């Protein structure tokens, strides 16, 4: 009855959702491609066609592409983050005292407002702030640095903040995947005399491989699109500028909407490419959590 | 227990306690800081407790001069409208896509799927022009329509849930002559309650934390939401870390309360939402 063909009803139900989707996703994406071949400043009524000039500028002006290098710090951080998440998820999937408390503490940062996290770590890295004081307490006062003042160190500090913020999500995803491995398998493995490391290698790792793969892809696209933490903490100063910060500045500070659109197109294409590779490597239906 | 096993247990708990310290210490320092006077903050060390644990002066300053009161009001209004909209729009789309066969069905599903691949941050350059041409720049509606327009996870969550709801329920209502709008409001929506809870929780937290959209589209100070208002603390309170600390704690406390009350839903919600 409800599956009758040719009725208008489903279209009426979809009218608003599809209109919103078109206006706020597809129109901007198409416009963005259009702007990227003009020298538009975002204000003037006319847009001058410049062909591939903006794209050439991105490739030839080294400082524009240079910012992509900053992403490498964040990609490196996501490897550390996933390793840590894997470790804590494995540990907490077995019997541990205060299990829920530890789980909650490790996950909670993921829920915190990004600006609040940026402020917390602005103070954390201040000279004489939380980190310096903690180092002094454990006798490593000498190791203090200009955490946010030294261009050689700043990206490590910011990437570290990013680990603090996002570890919880990976951790909870992995924990869920590990817990969906049937308990009988562990029991059988234990009867066979498998130790914890063997269990991890042969039971847990294969069971959660799809979700780990997905996490890597999300982490890489996330690393390319880093914005909030460095923007609030440093405004992109001292060599901490990321691709998105630069795009936003280009469009809204220097009014180079054409060039900014070309940069956004480049980023979009890179992210689509990574997603496409992921779909090849990790087949979709294998990711199953619930 | 053998020696190695005992060492392993010690290391395990040491790593867990270590991780907890890394998470909690930066937050506790700001919590204590928010209760200090300016003099205590400037001349004391970060780990020194405040002289008076009930000194709420900085919170008063944050609320009044820092505009946090207005910020919470703006955030609440935007959150309420966007959440109602998200639930209605997402469930309507899911109802249409799951319960009807129609010609453009596959195309529309594909359009929604493709859109999930486009990261929001990349398109803002062009989205900005759309929002401005619609006359929504510097209004609360800019954030609301963008929250509604770029939200695909909710449709996905509703659709997943609907798939598990037997069709007989709505089909028998249809046989009794109820029209589709009645079926949607009287049968589908009430059945979706658990999914609505998930969507409200994860979208609520995401919208509460959103910085980019309000920052870009609502620069007017009177329209400050909690993220942008806290961001603006950097200027006038740049040297007053005790006030900034109070602002930070104010923003975190509601999240903490929601987390403690709704832990189970939150874990499930974020795991199902993240792996769309």
Is residue B217 within 8 angstroms of chain A, CB to CB?
A: no
User: Facing residues of A200 across strands?
Assistant: none
Contact A271 B122 (CB under 8 A): yes
Best residue in B8, B19, B94, B123 for a mutation probing chain A (most A CBs within 10 Å): B123
What is the token pair recorded at A220?
């890489």
Chain B nearest-CA residue for A6 = B102
Low pLDDT (below 50) residues in chain B = 276
Q: Are B230 and A115 in contact (CB under 8 A)?
A: yes
Distance CA A129, CA A200 (A): 39
| Nearest C-alpha neighbor of B207 from the set B138, B136, B255, B259 | B255
Phi and psi torsions of A38, nearest 5° = -125, 170
Alpha carbon distance A288, A265 (integer Å): 32
Q: Is residue A16 part of a domain?
A: no
Cβ-Cβ contacts under 8 Å, A221 against chain B? 119
In a domain? residue B10: no
Nearest neighbour of A29 by CB, restricted to B118, B228, B255: B118
Q: Residue A129 is nearest to which of B46, B150, B255, comparing CB atoms?
A: B46
DSSP state of A142: G
Q: Is residue A2 part of a domain?
A: no
Tell me, yes or no, whether B55 lies in a domain. no
Query: Comparing C-alpha atoms, which of B37, B13, B89, B104 is closest to residue B246?
Result: B37
Q: How far is B223 from chain A (nearest CA, A)?
A: 17
Please give the tally of structural domains in chain A.
1
Q: If DSSP codes are grouped into helix, strand and coil, which group holds residue B23?
A: helix
Q: Taking CB atoms and an 8 Å limit, are B167 and A251 in contact across chains?
A: no
B263: chain A residues, CB-CB within 8 Å: 100, 104
A95–B contact, CB cutoff 8 A: no
The beta-carbon neighbor of B230 closest among A116, A221, A272 is A116
pLDDT at B71: 96
Q: Determine the pLDDT at residue A204.
A: 84
The answer to whether residue A235 is domain-embedded is yes
Shortest distance between the Cα of A128 and any Cα of chain B, in A, equals: 8
Asked, for residue B13, whether it belongs to a domain, the answer is no
pLDDT (0 to 100) of residue A282 = 64
Mutation target to probe the B interface, by most B beta carbons within 10 A, among A4, A74, A84, A113 is A113
Contact between B115 and A26 using a beta-carbon 8 Å cutoff: yes
| CATH number of the domain within which B166 lies | 1.10.3720.10
Whole-number Cα distances in Å, A280 to A217, A224, A232, B206, B273: 12, 20, 36, 30, 22
| Nearest in space to B243 (alpha carbons), one of B232, B253, B254 | B232
**What domain range is A71 assigned to?**
21-286
In chain A, residues with a C-beta closer than 8 Å to the C-beta of B44 are none
The C-alpha atoms of residue A96 and residue B263 are separated, in whole angstroms, by: 19
How far is the C-alpha of A271 from the C-alpha of B20, rounded, in Å?
34
Cβ burial of B254 (10 Å; 0-12, 13-18, 19+) is middle
What is the domain extent for residue B187?
Answer: 70-235+251-274
Rounded distance, CA A264 to CA A134, Å? 41
Q: pLDDT at position A1, please? A: 44
Shortest distance between the Cα of A225 and any Cα of chain B, in A, equals 7
Report the candidate in A115, A227, A248, A236 with the shortest Cα–Cα distance to residue B231. Answer: A115
Task: Determine contact: B146 vs chain A, CB below 8 A.
Answer: yes
When computed from its CA atoms, the radius of gyration of chain B, rounded to whole angstroms, is 24
Q: What is the pLDDT of residue A213?
A: 83
- Closest by CA to A87, choosing from B7, B47, B142, B18, is B18
d(CA A8, CA A225): 40
CA B223 – CA B51 distance, rounded (Å) = 36
ipTM > 0.90 for the complex:
yes
Phi, psi of B165, deg, nearest 5: -95, 125
E strands, B85-172, are: none
Residues of chain B with Cβ-Cβ distance to A32 below 8 Å are 122-123, 125-126
Q: Rounded CA gap, A209 and A46, in Å?
A: 52
Residue A7 lies in a domain: no
Residue A1 resides in a domain: no
Q: What share of chain A is helix, strand, coil (3-state, %, to 5)?
A: 70, 0, 25
State the residue for tokens 């037997």: B166
E strand or H helix at A33? helix A27-35
**Per-run averaged pLDDT (10 residues), chain A, 290 residues:** 64 93 94 93 84 88 80 95 95 90 96 96 93 91 88 94 95 90 80 79 84 85 90 91 90 91 91 83 51
Backbone dihedral region of A146: left (phi > 0), alpha (psi from -120 to 50 degrees) or beta? beta
**Interface residue of B126, B143, B217 to substitute, partner A, most A CBs within 10 Å:** B126
Report d(CA A239, CA A245) in Å as an integer: 12
Contact B20, A171 (CB under 8 A): no
CATH label of the domain that carries residue A226:
1.10.3720.10
Number of domains in chain B: 1
């Amino acid at each position: 009855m409800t599956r009758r063909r040719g009725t208008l009803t489903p279209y009426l139900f979809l009218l608003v959702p599809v209109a919103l989707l078109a206006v706020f996703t597809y129109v901007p994406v198409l416009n963005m491609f259009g702007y990227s071949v003009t020298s538009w400043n975002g204000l003037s009524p006319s847009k001058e066609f410049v062909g591939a000039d903006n794209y050439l500028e991105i490739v030839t002006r080294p400082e524009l592409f240079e910012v992509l290098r900053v992403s490498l710090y964040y990609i490196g951080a996501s490897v550390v983050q996933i390793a840590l998440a894997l470790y804590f998820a494995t540990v907490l999937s077995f019997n541990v005292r205060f299990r829920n408390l530890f789980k909650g503490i490790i996950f909670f940062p993921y829920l915190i407002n990004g600006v609040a996290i940026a402020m917390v770590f602005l103070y954390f890295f201040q000279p004489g702030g939380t980190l310096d004081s903690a180092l002094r307490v454990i006798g490593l006062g000498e190791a203090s640095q200009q955490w946010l003042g030294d261009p050689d160190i700043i990206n490590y500090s910011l990437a570290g903040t990013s680990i603090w913020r996002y570890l919880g999500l990976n951790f909870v995803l992995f924990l869920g995947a590990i817990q969906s491995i049937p308990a009988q398998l562990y029991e059988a493995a234990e009867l066979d005399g498998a130790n914890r490391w063997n269990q991890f290698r042969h039971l847990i790792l294969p069971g959660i491989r799809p979700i780990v793969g997905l996490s890597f892809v999300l982490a890489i696209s996330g690393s390319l699109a880093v914005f909030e933490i460095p923007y609030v903490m440093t405004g992109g100063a001292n060599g901490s500028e990321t691709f998105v910060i630069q795009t936003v500045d280009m469009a809204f500070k220097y009014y180079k909407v054409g060039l900014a659109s070309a940069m956004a197109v480049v980023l979009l294409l890179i992210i689509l490419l990574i997603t496409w590779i992921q779909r090849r490597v990790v087949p979709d239906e294998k990711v199953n959590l619930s | 227990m053998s020696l190695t096993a005992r060492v392993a247990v010690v290391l395990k708990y040491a790593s867990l306690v270590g991780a907890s310290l890394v998470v909690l210490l930066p937050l506790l320092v700001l919590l204590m800081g928010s209760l200090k006077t300016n003099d205590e903050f400037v001349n004391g060390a970060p780990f020194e407790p405040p002289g008076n644990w009930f000194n709420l002066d900085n919170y008063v300053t944050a609320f009044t001069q820092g505009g946090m009161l207005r910020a919470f009001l703006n955030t609440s209004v935007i959150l309420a409208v966007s959440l109602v909209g998200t639930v209605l729009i997402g469930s309507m789309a899911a109802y249409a896509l799951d319960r009807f066969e129609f010609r453009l069905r596959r195309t529309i599903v594909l359009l929604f799927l493709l859109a999930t691949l486009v990261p929001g941050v990349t398109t803002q350059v062009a989205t900005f022009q759309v929002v401005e041409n619609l006359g929504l720049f510097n209004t609360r509606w800019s954030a609301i329509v963008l929250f509604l327009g770029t939200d695909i996870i909710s449709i996905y969550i509703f659709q997943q849930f609907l798939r598990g709801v037997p069709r007989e329920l709505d089909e028998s209502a249809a046989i009794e002559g109820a029209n589709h709008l009645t079926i949607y409001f009287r049968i589908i929506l009430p059945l979706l309650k658990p999914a609505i809870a998930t969507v409200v929780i994860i979208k609520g937290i995401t919208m509460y934390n959103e910085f980019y959209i309000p920052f870009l589209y609502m620069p007017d100070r009177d329209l400050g939401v909690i993220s942008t208002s806290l961001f603006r603390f950097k200027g006038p309170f740049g040297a007053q870390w005790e006030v900034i600390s109070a602002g930070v704690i104010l923003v975190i406390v509601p999240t903490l309360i929601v987390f403690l009350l709704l832990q189970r839903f939150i874990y499930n919600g974020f795991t199902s939402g993240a792996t769309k």
